[in-house]
């Protein structure tokens, strides 16, 4: 799919993976809505991109907020691409604490709400907007790209909420692709390993020291532009649909 002349929506567009995606989609010719809550970072990115992107303050867990972001994208040009890249770091907590008390249910619900329900919210509302548009000559109306994690498969200790939410995102992909096949909307999922982003809340050198050595090859953390390059490939290749692609340098999470 060629996206020059189309619009795209990127949740978490002011974050690490999101910003790289916004930059890449702009370079590919799209006009992009940055759907995030980080006002300052988003405004800076908009200024940097000189009119190719706009910021729409968006909370993915809020219906009206997402509707506003989708409308902002449609107002720019036909919406062909929606990328779910919102989130950040979650608090690690075991199912049972050392004192035997259980992890608060509210924490689990909050994580699932942000990562899984928020992703579905953007998927369903973007798909509705795409379905209302004329298809391209290929029959494709658009593509939704969700972000899972390798923790969907190998959750580490303390990641029950995050792993369950991300496994939900993986599970959602094929069903959504099947549901949306009738309207020519593809759905793909990316499961990243460890990519250096602000979510790690530490200097890059320290993060590389901690995580880089756990990756077989290349022996370093992923770069956000490598994630964005995969987004661009998925957009371009219409035969990619209903699948999750791991991008992780062969990393497999161990126990911790």
Ligand X SMILES: NC(=O)c1ccc[n+]([C@@H]2O[C@H](COP(=O)([O-])OP(=O)(O)OC[C@H]3O[C@@H](n4cnc5c(N)ncnc54)[C@H](O)[C@@H]3O)[C@@H](O)[C@H]2O)c1
Q: Which residues are catalytic?
A: 162
Nearest to 27 by CA among 221, 254, 236, 239: 236
Q: Is residue 93 classed as helix, strand or coil in its secondary structure? A: coil
Pick the closer one to ligand X by CB: 142 or 192: 192
17 contributes a contact to ligand X by CB under 6 A: yes
- Put residue 50 in one of left, alpha, beta given phi > 0 → left and psi -120 to 50 → alpha: left
State yes or no: residue 198 binds ligand X (CB under 6 A). Answer: yes
In the list 189, 194, 241, 251, the residue contacting ligand X (rule: CB under 6 A) is 194
Quote the strand ranges of the chain, DSSP E.
7-11, 31-36, 53-57, 79-84, 142-147, 185-192, 244-247
Q: Which is nearer to ligand X, 9 or 184 (CB)?
A: 9
Residue showing tokens 């980080």: 38
Give the shortest CB-195-to-ligand X separation in angstroms.
4
Q: Residue 224 Cβ, how far from ligand X at the closest point, in Å?
A: 7
**Contact between 11 and ligand X (CB under 6 A)?**
yes
Residues 37-96 that bind ligand X (CB under 6 A): 37-38, 58-61, 85-88
Segment holding 115, helix H or strand E = none
Using CB under 6 A as the binding rule, the residues of this chain from 138 to 167 that contact ligand X are 147, 149
Do 69 and 105 meet the contact criterion of CB atoms below 8 Å apart? no
| Least distance in angstroms from the C-beta of 57 to ligand X | 9
Residue 87 — φ and ψ, nearest 5°?
A: 140, -125
Closest residue to ligand X in the complex (CB): 15
Helix and strand totals (H; E) in the chain: 8, 7
Write out the residues near ligand X by the rule CB under 6 A.
Answer: 11-12, 14-18, 36-38, 58-61, 85-88, 114-115, 118, 147, 149, 192, 194-195, 197-199
């Amino acid at each position: 799919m060629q996206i020059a002349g189309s619009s795209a929506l990127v949740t978490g567009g002011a974050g690490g993976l999101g910003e790289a995606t916004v930059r890449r989609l702009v370079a590919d010719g799209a006009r992009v809505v940055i759907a995030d809550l980080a006002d300052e970072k988003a405004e800076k990115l908009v200024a940097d991109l000189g009119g190719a992107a706009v910021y729409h303050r968006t909370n993915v867990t809020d219906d009206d907020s997402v509707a506003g972001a989708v409308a902002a994208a449609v107002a720019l040009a036909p919406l062909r691409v929606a990328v779910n890249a919102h989130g950040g770091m979650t608090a690690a907590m075991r199912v049972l604490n050392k004192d035997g008390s259980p992890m608060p249910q509210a924490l689990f619900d909050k994580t699932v709400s942000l990562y899984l329900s928020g992703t579905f919210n953007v998927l369903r509302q973007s798909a509705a907007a795409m379905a209302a548009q004329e298809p391209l000559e290929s029959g494709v109306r658009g593509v939704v790209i969700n972000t899972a994690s390798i923790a969907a498969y190998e959750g580490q200790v303390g990641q029950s909420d995050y792993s369950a939410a991300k496994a939900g995102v993986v599970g959602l992909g094929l069903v959504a692709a099947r549901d949306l096949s009738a309207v020519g909307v593809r759905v793909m999922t990316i499961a990243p390993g460890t990519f250096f982003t602000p979510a790690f809340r530490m200097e890059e050198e320290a993060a590389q020291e901690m995580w880089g050595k756990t990756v077989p090859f290349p022996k370093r953390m992923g770069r956000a532009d490598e994630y964005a390059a995969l987004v661009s490939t998925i957009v371009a290749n219409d035969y990619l649909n209903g699948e999750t692609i791991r991008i992780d340098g062969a990393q497999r999470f161990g126990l911790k």
